[in-house]
Amino acid sequence: MQINILSTAAGIKPNEDLACHFTHADGTLDVLMFDGASSVSDQHYLDAELGDPAWFVQQFALALQQTATPAHTQADCIVHALQTLRTQHSSLLQTAAMPAYAWPIAALSWLRMPANGEECSLYALGDCKSFLLDAQAKVIDLDPYDNPQEGILKTAVEELKQQGLDEQARWARLLPMLRERRVAQNNSPQPSILCLHPQGRFAAREYRFSLAADERLFMMTDGFYRLVESYHLYDDQSLMQTCSTRGLEAMMQELRMHEAGKSGGMTVKKADDATVTMLNAGQ
């Protein structure tokens, strides 16, 4: 088993993505991909230096590593980890009088790979991407999810670009809509993203699949997937194949060089934190 991870921040600010993995006593492997959503608040309440999104994904990942067990479902592990996080930081969370739009949220994709050869399982909240590249170079989208909000946001961004607004001005114009959306996400009775104060059971997407020794699995945040979705430099198949042949460093460099020469396209931010994990099952 070989796992390669590469994560870079969009600029000088802290990286709000996180990729990690850990192995349980029975050999079960957990691989996690987080994408903390950019804050739509004027201030950070939980960690002024790191920022609330990065604080949330890092503290949740730590709580999950402390509490997760193969004896429980991934869904139950998520609930337990969130309870642990809130208990560990109860004083901080009680004193931080945060408006609902400031509560941190994140996308999460979680691969669980048993050591006994049983099927892998994938638990997904939000819009991280997961793909399988088989021995015939065919790519399978393990979590074919389209974020319905993205289409609305892209249309709004394009309209503002047509008005000649730069990235900072676009963000200011979109902020009321983004805050309204964040409140709805945090107050949903079936949240589709990882959030700090869920109002009900998470509406996660869950899958089971086999992973052969000659196959590769990729997980990535939408910042890295811009190579396909926003910039159209690759399709799914060519991106996974090129990651395999050229390596993750070369692909990340290509992404950042492309963004350096663009005005942001139909995105709120010109560049985003970008993270990718490549798992070679047979190595």
The pLDDT tens digits of the residues spanning 20-79 come to 999 999 999 999 999 999 999 999 999 999 999 999 999 999 999 999 999 999 999 999
- Report the length, in residues, of the chain: 283
Amino acid identity for residue 52 in this structure: D
Name the pTM for this structure: 0.94
Q: How many CB atoms lie within 10 A of CB 231?
A: 16
Q: What is the pLDDT of residues 164-216, one digit of tens each?
A: 888 788 888 899 999 999 999 999 999 999 999 999 999 999 999 999 999 99
Answer yes or no: are the C-beta atoms of 198 and 191 closer than 8 Å.
Answer: yes
CA distance 279 to 5: 9
Residues 184, 221, 58, 205, CA torsion sign: positive
Phi-psi region of 66 (alpha: psi -120 to 50; beta: other; left: phi over 0): alpha
Count of structural domains within the chain: 1
CA distance 273 to 11: 8
* DSSP state letter for 266: T
Q: What CATH number is associated with residue 260?
A: 3.60.40.10
Q: What is the pLDDT of residues 91-117, one digit of tens each?
A: 999 877 899 999 999 999 999 999 988
* DSSP state letter for 245: H
CA distance 142 to 153: 25
Structural domain range at position 182: 2-280
> What three-state secondary structure class fits 193?
coil
Instruction: Show the tokens assigned to 41.
Output: 């608040």
